[in-house]
């Protein structure tokens, strides 16, 4: 077999597994520091996670001569990486759906509330029932 891969398969898989865990952690840390770019940062982490199995296969599998055959279990070494990637992508999709649902709900309530009168004008308050009227006296 003509073994001229960039990395051994075990190291490529380990590096991919570490990157799949490290990318979301770094994204959450950086998004905490730069909340304005939160979606871009998590989008980059998502793309990195999606590309990690492919990059690990490119780096870890050797180039074969035309007359050589690949060993039957060569691609099974990347199965843990593919499973981990699928789980993390599923979690990212669920988090994105929750975020989108929250945004849509907020937008609908803002839009729906624009047609109404302000809450203070819509319901007159009773005397003595307000939280502000029961303040302790200042000394």
pLDDT in tens, 48-60: 999 988 888 888 7
Of 74, 72, 84, 71, nearest to 15 (Cα)? 84
Q: What is the pLDDT of residue 89?
A: 92
**Hey, how many other C-beta atoms are within 10 angstroms of the C-beta on 54?**
13
Instruction: Return d(Cα 107, Cα 61) in angstroms, integer.
Output: 49
- The model's pTM is 0.64
- Specify whether the CB–CB gap between 58 and 83 falls below 8 A: no
In tens, the pLDDT along 61-86 reads: 776 656 667 676 666 778 888 899 99
What is the separation of C-alpha 38 from the centre of its chain, rounded to a whole number of angstroms? 10
Instruction: Return d(Cα 4, Cα 10) in angstroms, integer.
Output: 15
């Amino acid at each position: 077999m003509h073994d001229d891969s960039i990395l051994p398969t075990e190291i490529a898989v380990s590096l991919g597994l570490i990157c799949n865990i490290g990318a979301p952690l770094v994204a959450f840390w950086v998004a905490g520091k730069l909340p304005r770019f939160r979606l871009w940062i998590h989008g980059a982490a998502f793309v990195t996670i999606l590309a990690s199995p492919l990059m690990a296969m490119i780096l870890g599998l050797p180039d074969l001569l035309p007359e050589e055959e690949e060993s039957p279990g060569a691609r099974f070494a990347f199965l843990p990486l593919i499973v981990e990637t699928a789980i993390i992508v599923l979690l990212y999709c669920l988090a994105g759906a929750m975020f989108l649902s929250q945004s849509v709900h907020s937008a609908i309530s803002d839009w729906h509330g624009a047609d109404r009168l302000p809450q203070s004008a819509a319901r007159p308050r009773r005397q003595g029932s307000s939280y502000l009227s029961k303040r302790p006296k200042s000394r």
